[in-house]
Chain A
Amino acid sequence: MFYREAGQLKSSYAGDEAIFPIVQDRWAMAVLLLFVFGVLPFIGTEYFYQAILIPVMVYSVAAIGLNLLTGYCGQLSLGTGAFMAVGAVACFKLATAFPEMNLIIVFVLSGLVAAGTGLLFGIPSLRIKGFYLAVATLAAQFFLSWLFNKVTWFQNYAPSGTITMPPREVFGFVITGAHASAEARFVFCAIVVTILALAAKNIVRGPIGRSWMAIRDQDIAAELIGYRPFQTKLMAFSVSSFYVGFAGAMAFALWLGSVETAEAFDINQSFQILFMIIIGGLGSILGSFLGAAFIVLMPIILTNVFVGIFDMQAVTAKHIEFIVFGGLIIFFLIVEPQGMARLWQLTKEKLRSWPFPY
């Protein structure tokens, strides 16, 4: 009844190609942005930012990155954790080596370092596909983990093996280090996520996105109509790794503050982010957000329910949480194998004709 597009006719290609062609969607987006930047920074608690909002944002960026590669270009990767580690380590090295450098530049450069690494590990994709490629990217995961652990230069020779982000400011606000306020870190994250998500959406709706999807759907036909498979795949690998590396730098500098690289960005991270895009929806930017939110929030909600309402012991709750969480994932995949983004799309289609579906 409220979600109607009847009468909203497009008279230009500009109107037709807009990200949100329907007026109601544009309003919803505006309200959401207003809420994130105008309300959330004033109402949250330290726990709320640190345990929920910032992780969701960091993982959203990582999930967008993997989604560009796996969802849009069809190249399966299990090296996400390693590329996050590259971003984190690059961020650490740059921030400590050049204390004067603006933090935004540090983040972008960390992303670029990860992009270069991704490019290198994307080279096998010319010859191998599917699960075999996933195994090849596993090599990246284990090799890089080992490298960052073994070569102490990456930790500035710290005996503990951990890397710690020094305090830095952006435009006068302290956003990293022990004294940065959670609000400031959250706002910075939110701005970065908004920009990166918009950029990703723009890339996938333009010629580059089409080339990726062409390779994903029919690589031989794509080559016969003029796409160059190697360049296209490498582009996907490097852009994807840029996002993932950026997420790694954010996780390290804005969220955790201090990490043991090999521990924080291990193979489990790679799987977690892969689950996020599968549950959220392959080939969807919105899906990356939904998946990240699901995977981050669900354990927290379940723990609160079991401990808070059913008064269980924390250990028991943790075990039951694993069971319920696994069950939920299976349930989601059976109900909607194309992920939560597809579910949302179907809801919108139903809403369009509600309450008179015929």
Chain B
Amino acid sequence: MSAQERVFNETLLSVENISLSFGAVKAISDVSFDIKKGEIRAIIGPNGAGKTSMLNCINGFYHPQLGQMVYKGAVRKQMKPHETAANGVARTFQNVALFRGMTTLDNIMTGRNLKINKWKTWLLAAAIFVGPTRDEERVHRAFVEEIIKFLEIEAIRKTPVGRLPYGLQKRVELGRALAAEPELLLLDEPMAGMNLEEKQDMCRFILDVNDEFGTTIALIEHDMGVVMDISDRVVVLDHGSKIADGTPDEVKKNQDVIDAYLGVPH
């Protein structure tokens, strides 16, 4: 994939000199990078490098002490998580965070929550159900069925997600994020703990999402083979600082990156 270099011009999100610390622990120090519209951007680094913290900052879950984010051409104010969600950012989680008591279908339907017309489904209409609420539900059900078809999970539509194997749960979680029709999709280790076959499936879905819907994707992943294959550009973090940024080939050759991963003799 990386063989044919794709060119992206428009910047969707630029992270400028972000620093985040918890008390005396510096999680991220002075990191800057940008995410172009339509690309697959990987964030890699050894354990504890600050990758997930970085996603949490983009998400609005953590608020960095220094630096700013420019999203869609405007400096972003401090936002609550549900506000960033309303602004087109969706994500999946490192340790699957599905709603375990609900079915696959309901889980993906929750991803539509910002698209559902609040007036057609307000309390009294919802209590009566027949009429506006039912019509609204149908519209979104049809959309969700498209996602279910796309991810090939038709058979587990009505299964509570708590009973599903791990690989499928990850897939449902991707479905929930896609249901929000995000502009920027953040994937936190989408392939952790999967076998080869499941990884191949997941890669295919990620590439298809990027290709068919034009969704910009930022992903954290530890499988270097996958990262180098599917991403357009890679940013490498180590101990909270950025040590490299570029195409997979550039990053692979970077001495700092090699040192960070393999260690350096002292």
Residues of A within 8 A of B (CB): 13-14, 17, 199-200, 202-203, 205-208, 210-211, 213-214, 216-218, 220-228, 235, 239, 283
Contacts and interface: CB of A to CB of B under 8 A. Distances in A.
A206 B121 contact: yes
Which of A207, A208, A222, A239 has the most chain B CB atoms inside 10 A of its CB? A207
Contacts of A223: 80-82
A213 B102 contact: yes
Nearest to A235: B123
B139 to A, nearest CB: 10
Nearest to A213: B102
The 3 closest A-B pairs by CB, nearest first: A226-B85, A221-B97, A217-B99
Interface in B63-102: 80-82, 85-86, 90-91, 93, 97-102
30 contacts: A13-B137, A14-B134, A17-B137, A17-B141, A202-B126, A203-B127, A206-B126, A206-B133, A207-B116, A207-B136, A207-B137, A208-B123, A208-B126, A211-B110, A214-B99, A214-B102, A216-B99, A216-B101, A217-B98, A221-B97, A221-B98, A224-B59, A224-B81, A224-B82, A225-B90, A225-B111, A225-B113, A226-B86, A228-B82, A239-B123
Given A17-B137, A213-B102, A221 B111 contact: no
Contacts, number: 101
Interface string B110-142: 110110100001010011110001101110011
B234 interface: no
Contacts of B128: 199, 202
Contacts of A203: 123, 126-127
B81 A283 contact: no
Nearest to A215: B99
Given A218-B97, A220-B97, A208 B91 contact: no
A13 B145 CA distance: 10
A146 to B, nearest CB: 31
Contacts of B137: 13, 17, 206-207
Contact of A217 (B86, B100, B127): B100
A211 B113 contact: yes
Contacts of B101: 213, 216-217, 283
Given A207-B121, A213-B99, A226-B113, A221 B93 contact: yes
B141 A225 contact: no
Contacts of A218: 97-100
Contacts of A224: 59, 61, 81-82, 85, 91
B86 A225 contact: no
A135 B180 CA distance: 37
Contacts of B59: 224
Nearest to B186: A224
A210 to B, nearest CB: 5
Which of B81, B98, B137, B176 has the most chain A CB atoms inside 10 A of its CB? B81
B40 interface: no
Contacts of B142: 13
Given A202-B129, A206-B126, 18 more contacts: A13-B137, A14-B138, A199-B127, A202-B126, A206-B121, A210-B110, A211-B110, A213-B106, A217-B100, A217-B101, A218-B99, A220-B97, A223-B81, A224-B85, A225-B110, A226-B85, A226-B86, A283-B101
